[in-house]
Amino acid sequence: MTPEEFDAIEEYDENYRYELVHGVLVVTPISLAEETGPNELLGYKLLYYREHHPQGSALDHTLPQQYVRTRSGRRIADRLIWTGLGRLPNRRKDTPSIAVEFVSAGRRSRQRDYVDKRQEYEEAGIQQYWIIDRFQRTLTVFHFLPAGVEEEIISEGQAYQTALLPGFELPLARLLEAADREAQAEE
């Protein structure tokens, strides 16, 4: 399937997610609460920053479950963040600054999030890729720079700050607590 054929699809089952990966249509169930709960918290923290922080205008937009347009397909990111535009982005034309993934259980998910999507997001021109891993209790940040890729690992007790969002602080423990609460509710 080509990216154009994928973009032309109008009818689909809303209980599944659809991605186009290297010409192959990949269909997966919707995300678990252990991923969507912390993603909602991250969205709240980002919007609060935009509305209340003196430098919050650095955040142009953030949306959950959005497509990243790669050269050979369409990937769904758990959250995309646009910065530095000074306006609302055109999601089809403006490359997000940051892509965020919340790791799902299983070896295939780890491969997808840590290897496949990392490469695709770098090729798409994204500046930073955040991987929030509730199993490893870490946030891994890949900085895609002209000189190469830099990897930064934030542990559970730390907070992450990025120059793309001046003054924004992401306390990893809060997101992991949200994931833990969701998982416990299912037991």
Model confidence over 8-17: pLDDT tens digits? 888 887 767 7
- Would you state the structure tokens that stand for residue 95, as one six-digit string? 């490359």
Integer distance in angstroms from the first to the last C-alpha of the chain?
40
pLDDT tens per residue, range 50-88:
999 999 999 999 999 888 988 878 888 999 999 999 999
* Structure-token pair, residue 6: 């994928």
Whole-angstrom CA distances from 6 to 9, 20, 170 are 6, 7, 35
- For the chain, the average pLDDT equals 90
Helices (H), the chain: 3-8, 33-52, 107-111, 117-124, 172-185
